[in-house]
């Protein structure tokens, strides 16, 4: 893949950090964004050791003004070729509740969906002017199978999937690729809040490899692992009672 300048959000750990390490190479510039300065610098160090030029910025993606300033500085040196919108949070009901609180629901939707849409619109104008660029939106299999223990998380990822697929069609003729990754369970720090079964869980490095393979093939939707992905796609076609029965073994709550 001919990417010279790459922006990755949520790069301080998990899938974002794994993608940064996988993409690091001589001649590439990586702009890593996240909320934990110390972990970002550790990831950047690993990327620099592989020959990449690497910058880090600790920020909250909801700070759109600062985000625009940071990415404008990145793009001033070299046009952004690849944006990986990976930042997100997992939240849902606590052990003592049947449903998440209103404040939790709002925060999840604002972080996972609205902040990501804002991020895309910071980068997209320059890509359209240049007639090239790639965007990866990291959603979840929860976008296909709503989780009763995390309604807002499910909605945020379903919204991201729909947004990404629509955007893909909207800008394809302008030379811009948009793909949406829908991972299943991935062993990350964020997943540690998920207190319950995590069937088919894979490593963050494995997830990164699958996402980049799908990007190379310009797949609209990159879903994995394969069996859970296809079961998820088919789940909306089965009767509700059967779907609920199948979800019994995946119930969970979130920890602190």
Active centre residues (catalytic): 153
Give the residue ranges of DSSP H helices in 131-180.
Answer: 151-171
200: phi > 0 → left, psi -120 to 50 → alpha, else beta; which?
left
> 14-23 and 37-49 are packed helices; what angle lies between their axes, rounded to 10 degrees?
20
The single residue listed with the structure tokens 């947004």 is 163
Give the residue ranges of DSSP H helices in the chain.
Answer: 14-23, 37-49, 64-77, 102-109, 115-130, 151-171, 204-216, 226-235, 240-247
Strand partners, 187: 203
């Amino acid at each position: 893949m001919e990417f010279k300048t790459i922006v990755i959000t949520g790069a301080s750990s998990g899938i974002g950090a794994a993608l940064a390490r996988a993409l690091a190479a001589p001649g590439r510039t990586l702009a890593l964004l996240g909320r934990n300065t110390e972990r970002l610098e550790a990831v950047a160090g690993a990327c620099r050791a592989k020959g990449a030029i690497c910058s880090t910025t600790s920020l909250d993606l909801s700070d759109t003004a600062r985000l625009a300033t940071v990415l404008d500085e990145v793009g001033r040196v070299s046009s952004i070729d690849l944006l990986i919108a990976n930042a997100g949070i997992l939240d849902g009901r606590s052990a003592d509740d049947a449903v998440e609180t209103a404040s939790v629901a709002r925060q999840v939707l604002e972080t996972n969906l609205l902040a990501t849409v804002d991020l895309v619109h910071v980068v997209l104008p320059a890509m359209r002017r240049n007639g090239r660029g790639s965007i990866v939106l990291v959603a979840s299999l929860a976008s296909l199978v709503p989780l009763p223990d995390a309604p807002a998380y499910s909605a945020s990822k379903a919204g991201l999937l729909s947004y990404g697929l629509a955007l893909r069609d909207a800008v394809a003729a302008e030379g811009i690729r948009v793909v949406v990754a829908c991972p299943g369970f991935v062993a990350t720090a964020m997943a540690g809040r998920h207190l319950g079964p995590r069937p088919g869980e894979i490593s963050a490095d494995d997830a990164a490899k699958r996402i980049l393979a799908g990007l190379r093939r310009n797949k609209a939707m990159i879903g994995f692992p394969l069996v859970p992905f296809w079961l998820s796609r088919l789940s909306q076609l089965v009767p509700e009672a059967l779907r609920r029965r199948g979800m019994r073994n995946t119930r969970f709550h979130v920890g602190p």
